[in-house]
Chain A
């Protein structure tokens, strides 16, 4: 604001008044789920991959538990975990593991150990335009396309001739706060950095949409974001000569599909009260049905077939 050296009679006193009213009008948020009147509010933030399933959880939970308000926001796994570390939210969604230094940071800031819950699984699909004749791809080829120092920049180098005629590969990636970005970097690029010049989209859905409208594009996004008829999911092989596996619920469960990851929730310390009830509900049949309906792989199946 302004840098005053003398107080302003009206403005300054009003600012003070406004802040005083603000402070007395609402108590600061406690570290765990805060209670306002008879209602409980759970603040839930994080992964863009999980934001849609988290939204449906909140929508459905309200129907059976009207006293609990769940506030859902996205931003990326990194954003959710950062807010949890600062103690400003109750529940973080993450599509990657919390790093050791993040856990240490959270412990230092809030005095509580973050607690992790696996609430489902997601397969990361590699998408190309529906007219692209390519049907399968190996990790090695993905590294050559996406990773820094990779040599493949044209479709003809993969032996592909696009019907539309373009040859330059348009790489579609995610913003760096995304758990999807992090996971792809670690598990497909072997922790090498991404090549510069990719289109970094802010949402899982945007990746699929851009691929659908760009014949020469290749991108990665969650299995749940597939739009059949507009884009094509490639079969993925860990190495040349190994069988290429199509991404699906069945292949994720059987661990045949190589780019799959757990969907995680983090709380500060062991959850209690309504927060505990909410997390348990998510892991129950009701919550897991929503995971399945959103295009992800629910826990119960995973446990059955392990």
Chain B
């Protein structure tokens, strides 16, 4: 550094030291950021390599066979789709409407601060506690028994606060001047929400909802307590194998059971199950991103 033939202006030992530290800091931070890529590549690469012998369309469509040591994962996959779809069917409307109230109607007073606090804290409740709540509230108290309904409602309560938070954020990103312009021509709040606020925030709202798909699909504890079973016999490729007051299988739970409870499972099968779960989640997230890009391209501001 001090080998430069023309001495730099004002380059005292102190400046040189600070420059060295600057370089070191930049290098360390950069390396940490680059290291983020490594686990993802390692996880996905390792899973896919180990799963390769079992992965096929047949694996996705077939039912588990010979004591779950062979065959596919169809009943678990379709069970996960059931649970995620039903839970969002409940939590998305409630969450979005609640967020609209909180963001558009609620005034700053103690009551609404309590609601805010409740939403934030509910979002922080560990999933195993949601599981226990679901067991007590839906399975026993509401008499739904161990069923898809109980499990989906438990997942809905778990995803609700996050949907509320992400929807509020999307609503808050609509500039206040838009609303003021609307109010000033005599529109009511509801008219303003319907014609100005919602159309301008729909991309953010949908993204928030869709991101909850991956969370709901990946959770094991809440569904294991309330309506997901170790095994249930289903026809191969059957699209509607479950009634709503019955229990179902789910991918997350299936992955857990075949890795820890079933002896003699072919080695590639747990990995292939993990790959299918991961693919499902990544596909949904990619859809969310694509949707956001598309809707944002139509924004006029």
Q: Which residues of A contact B83 (CB under 8 A)?
A: none
Contacting pair A28 B65 (CB below 8 A): no
Number of chain B interface residues as a range: 35 or more
Query: SS class of chain B's interface: helix, strand, loop or mixed?
Result: mixed
A100 at the interface (CB under 8 A from B): no
Indicate with 1 or 0, residue by residue over B225-265, a CB within 8 angstroms of chain A CB atoms: 00011111100000000011111000000000100111100
With A36-B243, A206-B260 as known contacts, state yes or no: A29 contacts B157, CB within 8 Å. Answer: no
Interface-located stretch among A71-79, A124-132, A141-149:
A71-79
Q: Which residues of B contact A83 (CB under 8 A)?
A: 146
* Chain B residues within an 8 Å CB radius of A153: none
- Residues on B with C-beta less than 8 A from A9 are 101
Alpha-carbon separation in the docked complex, A25 to B149 (Å) = 10
Separation of A274 and B262 alpha carbons in the complex (Å): 27
Q: In whole angstroms, what is the CA distance A3 to B116 when docked?
A: 11
- Interface status of A225 (Cβ within 8 A of chain B): yes
Asked if A15 contacts B232 (CB within 8 A), the reply is no
Query: Would B97 and A72 count as touching, CB distance under 8 A?
Result: no
The residue from B114, B157, B231, B243 contacting A1, defined by CB atoms under 8 A apart = B157
- Kindly identify, within residues 34 to 69 of chain A, every residue whose CB is under 8 Å from any CB belonging to chain B: 34, 36-37, 39, 41, 43, 48, 51-52, 54-56, 58-59, 61-62, 69
Known contacts: A203-B260, A204-B261, A205-B262. The answer to whether A26 contacts B111 by CB under 8 A is no
Please tell me if the beta carbons of A205 and B97 are within 8 angstroms of each other in the complex: no
Minimum CB–CB distance from B229 to chain A (whole Å) comes to 4
Is B147 touching A72 in the complex (CB atoms < 8 A)?
no
Decide yes or no whether A197 CB sits under 8 A from chain B.
no
Within the complex, the shortest CB–CB distance from A229 to chain B, in Å, comes to 13
Instruction: Tell which of B65, B100, B232 has the most Cβ of chain A within 10 Å.
Output: B232
The contact string, 1 if C-beta is below 8 Å from chain B, for chain A 204-235, is 11101000000000000000110100000000
The residues in A between 225 and 265 inclusive whose CB is less than 8 angstroms from any CB of B are 225, 227
Cα A276 to Cα B228 in complex, Å, equals 24
B233 touches A11 (CB 8 A): no
Q: Does B284 contact A (CB under 8 A)?
A: no
**Bound: A19/B111 CA distance, A:** 25
CB within 8 Å for A88 and B97 given contacts A71-B246, A225-B263: no
Also in contact, A26 and B149, with CB within 8 A (given A3-B114, A72-B231): yes
Q: Is the Cβ of B94 less than 8 Å from the Cβ of A69?
A: no
Q: What sequence of 0s and 1s flags, for each residue 162-184 of chain A, a beta carbon within 8 Å of any chain B beta carbon?
A: 00000000000000000000000
Provide the B106-123 mask, 1 if CB < 8 A to any CB of A, else 0: 000001001100110010
B144 on interface, CB distance cutoff 8 Å = yes
A105 within 8 A of B: no
| Selected interface stretch from B37-45, B135-143, B293-301 | B135-143
A52 to B245, CA, bound (A): 24
Query: Quick check: is B199 within 8 A (CB to CB) of the other chain?
Result: no
Interface centre among B144, B146, B246, B263 (most CB of A within 10 A): B263
Given A10-B97, A18-B94, A205-B260: A28 and B68 interface contact (C-beta under 8 Å): no
Q: Does A70 contact B (CB under 8 A)?
A: yes
Tell yes or no: A112 within 8 A of B by CB.
no
Are A52's CB and B263's CB within 8 A? yes
Determine whether A160 belongs to the interface, using a CB cutoff of 8 Å to chain B: no
> In the complex, what residues of A have CB within 8 A of residue B232's CB?
58, 69-72
Name the A residues within 8 Å of B247 (CB-CB). Answer: 43, 71, 73
B198 within 8 A of A: no
Contact between B67 and A8, CB atoms less than 8 A apart: no
Determine whether the beta carbon of B145 is less than 8 Å from that of A28. Answer: yes
Contact among B147, B233, B257 for A62, CB-based, below 8 A: B233
A22 interface contact, C-beta 8 A: yes
**Do A52 and B146 touch (CB < 8 A)?**
no
A31 to chain B, nearest CB (A): 10
Which residues does chain A contribute within 8 Å of B111, judged by CB atoms? 5-6
Contacting residues, chain B, for A62 (C-beta < 8 A): 233
Q: Is B206 an interface residue (CB 8 A)?
A: no
Q: CA of A125 to CA of B228 in the docked complex: distance in angstroms?
A: 31
Beyond the given pairs A2-B122, A225-B263, 20 more chain A to chain B contacts, judged by CB atoms under 8 angstroms and listed by A's residue number, are: A1-B118, A2-B118, A18-B94, A27-B245, A34-B245, A41-B246, A48-B261, A52-B68, A58-B233, A59-B233, A62-B233, A71-B231, A71-B246, A73-B247, A74-B230, A89-B146, A203-B260, A204-B261, A205-B262, A206-B261
19 A-B pairs (CB sep. < 8 Å): A1-B118, A2-B115, A8-B98, A14-B93, A15-B94, A22-B153, A25-B244, A26-B149, A28-B145, A29-B145, A41-B246, A51-B230, A52-B68, A59-B64, A59-B231, A71-B146, A71-B232, A73-B146, A203-B260
The 6 A-B residue pairs with the shortest CB-CB distance in the complex, in nearest-first order: A62-B233, A26-B245, A29-B145, A10-B97, A28-B143, A55-B231
